[in-house]
Amino acid sequence: MVEMEMKLKLRVGVLFGGRSGEHEVSLMSASSILAALDTNKYAVTQIGITHDGAWLTGENVFEAMLNNRTDELVGTTFLPDPTRPGLYRVPADPDDEQFACMADLDVVFPVLHGTFGEDGALQGFLEMADLAYVGAGVLGSSLGMDKGVFKDVMRFHDIPVLDWIVVSRKQIQQNVDAVVERAMQVAAFPLFVKPANLGSSVGVSKCNSRSDLLEGLFEAARYDRRVIVERGINAREIEISVLGNEEPKASIPGEVIPSREFYSYEAKYVDNRSELLIPAPISPDLVRKVQELAVEAYQAIDCAGMARVDFLLEKTGPTDIVPGELYLNELNTLPGFTQISMYPKLWEASGLPYPALVDRLIELALDRKGERERTERRYLAGAQDG
């Protein structure tokens, strides 16, 4: 009877942790998603990835990862073989060559922020394994992740972005003075320096001087081989959530009032003093513009499932009665997903509560998998001639 009930439930693998500077943020998001999944509808398998990249499953994986007590967990993996879907046990004994299937899965919910989680690498692996998964595909994930290439695409589509350059870690290490000179030609201070392929404000520095810039370049280069330097402006931070596949919809926008000079990692996750204004106190015309640009950016990179789109609204003076220019800052294809994160809070304020949002994302993952299955994988010359 229990086995029959399990088969009637949708089998969901929740994947969290990861080999990324956003490992801890992933655990925060996973905690909320695991709590929201209705066990009357879903048979949930927890899969944790350690800082070192080991994939683990077993009993209470989340608690074990959170408390660094993973000895009782079992090594596991997917196989990049569509004829053998599911979750497989990795042999503990090197002499044992047998990979045993531990669980069949209908859909994977990746809660992996940052490198190897939302940059297209995992998505490619899941595509090869022929598994349905929540969120953007390979192209949308990789374009959304790399802030430099993303800006190239936005500029091609005439979506306003701040001026920037991209430099490599090797350039910084070999001739940092030349990099500093290039960076200072982007705009006057302040400048922002960021790892091109990371989120949650990890490794981000606001630079008000040459010495700040030097320090910021080396800090960002710790987390990525590509570093972006962009013009800084005095701005309000407006965020909006997008949901859907081929016909995405935008939520109402919100505004972040950071507790620190900018919305740093500490302001987001540590001091709990940043303020979220939902809805954002902006005009109806500006609301429509933000929603339209967010959807346009989402479709431009072939995004799917979800994304949080962040804008910078230039301040024109101390009262900000007349807003200045609006710039698209970035698009996050796997945004923070705790109960208090902006992405789900904006949908809640738009009429879609957290548990229903999780359900909808799983539905979208299955829809996208169905669309992939319509693609012909064989070509027979002349087959259509008859």
Could you say which of 231, 262, 290 is where a domain stops? 231
Could you say which of 89, 113, 133 is where a domain stops? 133
Assess whether pLDDT exceeds 60 at residue 269.
no
> Residue range 328-334: average pLDDT?
96
Confidence class for position 22, pLDDT limits 50, 70, 90: confident
pLDDT at 339: 86
* Residue 285 belongs to domain with CATH number: 3.30.470.20
Q: Structurally, how many domains does the chain consist of?
A: 3
> Residue range 88-98: average pLDDT?
76
DSSP 336-359: --STTSHHHHHHHHTT--HHHHHH
Same domain, 125 and 23: yes
List residues bridging with 132 in a β-sheet: 107
Assess whether pLDDT exceeds 90 at residue 318.
no
Which residue range is the domain that position 252 belongs to?
Answer: 235-369
Decide: residue 285, CB within 10 A, 0-12 exposed, 13-18 middle, 19+ buried. Answer: exposed
Task: Judge whether 104 lies within some domain.
Answer: yes
Could you say which of 188, 216, 231 is where a domain stops? 231
Q: What is the pLDDT of residues 289-298, one digit of tens each?
A: 999 999 999 9
pLDDT at 322: 61
Confidence class for position 1, pLDDT limits 50, 70, 90: very low
* Residue 188 belongs to domain with CATH number: 3.30.1490.20
Is the Cβ–Cβ distance between 324 and 314 less than 8 Å? yes
pLDDT at 2: 44
Confidence class for position 382, pLDDT limits 50, 70, 90: low
pLDDT at 255: 97
Same domain, 99 and 167: no
Task: Judge whether 68 lies within some domain.
Answer: yes
Quote the CA–CA distance of 181 and 92 in Å, as a whole number.
Answer: 53
Same domain, 32 and 80: yes
Task: Judge whether 218 lies within some domain.
Answer: yes
- Of residues 136 and 25, which shows the higher confidence score? 136
Same domain, 83 and 205: no
| Backbone φ and ψ of 205, nearest 5° | -130, 140
Same domain, 263 and 365: yes
**For the chain, what is the mean pLDDT?**
91
Task: Judge whether 84 lies within some domain.
Answer: yes
Same domain, 72 and 21: yes
Task: Judge whether 139 lies within some domain.
Answer: no
Q: Which two tokens stand for residue 244?
A: 């859907």
Percent of the chain whose predicted confidence (pLDDT) is above 70: 90
Quote the CA–CA distance of 15 and 117 in Å, as a whole number.
Answer: 9
Quote the CA–CA distance of 267 and 273 in Å, as a whole number.
Answer: 7
Q: Which two tokens stand for residue 226?
A: 């590509």
Same domain, 202 and 281: no
Same domain, 103 and 19: yes
Assess whether pLDDT exceeds 60 at residue 205.
yes
Residues 6 or more apart in contact with residue 356 via CB below 8 angstroms:
none
Side-chain half-sphere exposure of 247, counting CA atoms within 13 A: 1
pLDDT at 377: 86
pLDDT at 199: 67
Quote the CA–CA distance of 244 and 247 in Å, as a whole number.
Answer: 6
pLDDT at 385: 53
Task: Judge whether 142 lies within some domain.
Answer: no
Same domain, 171 and 100: no
Same domain, 111 and 182: no
Same domain, 242 and 365: yes
Same domain, 248 and 208: no
Quote the CA–CA distance of 79 and 85 in Å, as a whole number.
Answer: 7
C-alpha angle 290-295-298 in degrees, rounded to nearest 5: 125
Helices (H), 95-209: 121-128, 138-145, 147-156, 169-174, 176-184
Task: Judge whether 32 lies within some domain.
Answer: yes
pLDDT at 383: 58
pLDDT at 268: 52
Task: Judge whether 273 lies within some domain.
Answer: yes
Q: Identify each DSSP E strand in 33-125 by its residue range.
A: 42-49, 55-57, 74-77, 87-89, 100-103, 107-111
Q: Which two tokens stand for residue 23?
A: 């490992």
Assess whether pLDDT exceeds 90 at residue 284.
yes
Is the Cβ–Cβ distance between 65 and 51 less than 8 Å? no
**Closest-CA residue to 103 (of 70, 124, 128, 131):** 131
For residue 160, CA distances in Å to 61, 157, 193 come to 43, 9, 19
pLDDT at 324: 87
pLDDT at 264: 46
